[in-house]
Structure 1
Amino acid sequence: MTFEQAWQQWRDEREAELRSPEGFLAITGLHWLGAQPQRFPGIPGAWSNAPEGAVVELGPGEWLELGGTTLAGRYVFGHVDPVGVVATFDAGTVEVADRFGTPVLRPRQPDGPFLRDYTGTPTYAPDPAWRVTADFTAYETSRPISVGSVVEGRSSVIDAVGEVAFEVGGRPQRLIAFDGGDDELWLLFTDETSGVTTYAACRQLAVEPPADGKAVLDFNRAANMPCAYTIHATCPLPPASNHIDVLVEAGEQTPPRPPAD
């Protein structure tokens, strides 16, 4: 497979993910649970953040399905993690997850406005010159780093596992790398295109596991975060130091984002 073919395969998979009826473009709301039971539009039950975690009280005729089990009455989801769980009901699904220490609900519908109106993501043309080899320096132990988020007043703590050092445009660069799972690295970064041709908050890059102290950064696969597409996202922001001080004219550009209904 040629470089261009491999990139096109990545683009096709990425677009399929974005257009999925279960993906983040299908999210139709972001609801923070409080101590008092509350109902939210289009979601069965009254929801609260109880001492035992997220709880739903389903009324007569209301139901949710979770892991093949039909729920009725009072159900305790407990102290969910950031990945959360997804329950289904007749009109769609609802994600129950933790965000910044508070349980949230994010309903999804296959006809949600952000998904319905999505027209595709523009990209730069693939260029092998943006496939850069970096030196990777692993930390002795992972370092929890507090970063901001697109949610005003909220911050996240994510595990940094090391740093990548490389050169682009004749200028040295160094970025903090986060744990991407399965020994992969995850980069959050801005560059001189941010807010011009690419999404202002940041882009992300998945990096295959380093080998012999080297990591390949293929900026042709720099991708937008969910917050570039929907107001119902809680994306972390990169540390201020994770700025590349040249134009990274590679990867995804700013997508059109029509207003939600």
Structure 2
Amino acid sequence: MTVQDVDLVSFVRDWEQWHSAKEEVLSGPHGFLAITSLRWLSAEPARFEDAPGAWSSTPDGVVVELEEGEELTVEGVTVRGRHDFGVIAERASVNAGWDDAVIEVAKRGGHDIVRPRHPDSALRRAFSHTPAYAPEPHWVRTGRFLSFGEPRPVTVGAAVEGLEHVYDSPGQVEFDLDGTPYRLTAFNGRTPGSLMVLFTDGTSGVTTYAANRSLQIGSPDAEGRVTVDFNRAGNLPCAYTDLATCPLPPAENRLPVAVEAGERIPLERGGQP
């Protein structure tokens, strides 16, 4: 086996580990596939069949009124009767335990929501895997981060009609594909200094999910270089369920070329194995 073969074997193995870890989170007992409903709270208390209590959104935050015999576990503490979750920050969540389920209390697009997550949900039980393109080194590009200097607020649409998200963008990522340069507006990634881009391309709606895909990019080096690995272009939760509020890419992040790499249309949306 040549050095090149060893590198390719390592490259594929690393991708498989990434994909497996992503699938494990998605299909975990309280992952996105476990969500059974998406409830938009109002000032009027409302009860839901898949969660205990009567829930409402008040000026002081989310409130639940639990009846006798009902209880939740919040941050390790059993709560009964009335419980105030307080004002939840945009894109933040609080998880409350209920038997083997988790009741997610969150804010999305300025609205308070409740999303019960049950391990025995039909979507989770039926899940097998997410189809993906075979990893290819060709789709790993060296790019450059172009800072805006000061973050710029960028408003994008959402998987839920009428909802909008606002993200701060630190700059753009520039790279080339087959000699043609492209730029994508980036948002902050999962770890300090890292980046995330939302995009569509020529495969969107054909072999990959139509609305969006997401790509995590490591922190730029001292000269602004970044690695753009489209093999790790992943589906967001809205690719699997209508009970997600995922952001859509900004208009400038619609690539005119077919990026035949990364995750494909889920089987749950009619994708091919």
Which TM-score applies when normalising by structure 2? 0.92
Matched, 1:172 2:181: yes
The equivalent residue for 1:128 is: 137
The equivalent residue for 1:217 is: 228
Aligned residues: 259
Matched, 1:185 2:198: no
1:170 is displaced (CA, Å) by: 2.9
1:138 is displaced (CA, Å) by: 1.0
The equivalent residue for 2:14 is: 6
1:171 is displaced (CA, Å) by: 2.1
Deviation string 1:26-64 (CA, Å, 9 cap, x unpaired) is 111100100111001121100001121100001111100
Contact 2:43-2:57 within 8 A present in 1 as well: yes
The equivalent residue for 1:195 is: 205
Structure 1 residues 9, 32: closer, same or farther in 2, change over 3 A? same
Matching residue's letter, 1:111? D
Alignment root-mean-square deviation, CA? 1.3
The equivalent residue for 2:261 is: 250
Aligned 1:1-261 pairs, distance under 5 A: 2-81=10-89, 82-180=91-189, 181-211=191-221, 212-257=223-268
1:83 is displaced (CA, Å) by: 2.0
CA distance in 2, matches of 1:120, 1:49: 37
% identical aligned pairs: 49
Q: Secondary structure at the match of 1:224?
A: coil
Structure 1's unaligned 5+ residue stretches are none
CA distance in 2, matches of 1:242, 1:258: 23
Contact 1:126-1:251 within 8 A present in 2 as well: yes
The equivalent residue for 2:3 is: none
CA distance in 2, matches of 1:241, 1:80: 31
Contact 1:114-1:258 within 8 A present in 2 as well: no
Contact 1:135-1:165 within 8 A present in 2 as well: yes
Contact 2:238-2:244 within 8 A present in 1 as well: yes
Matching residue's letter, 2:176? E
Structure 1 residues 258, 126: closer, same or farther in 2, change over 3 A? closer
Matching residue's letter, 2:211? A
Matching residue's letter, 2:83? Y
1:13 is displaced (CA, Å) by: 1.1
1:18 is displaced (CA, Å) by: 2.0
CA distance in 2, matches of 1:178, 1:13: 22
Contact 1:169-1:246 within 8 A present in 2 as well: no
Contact 2:100-2:119 within 8 A present in 1 as well: no
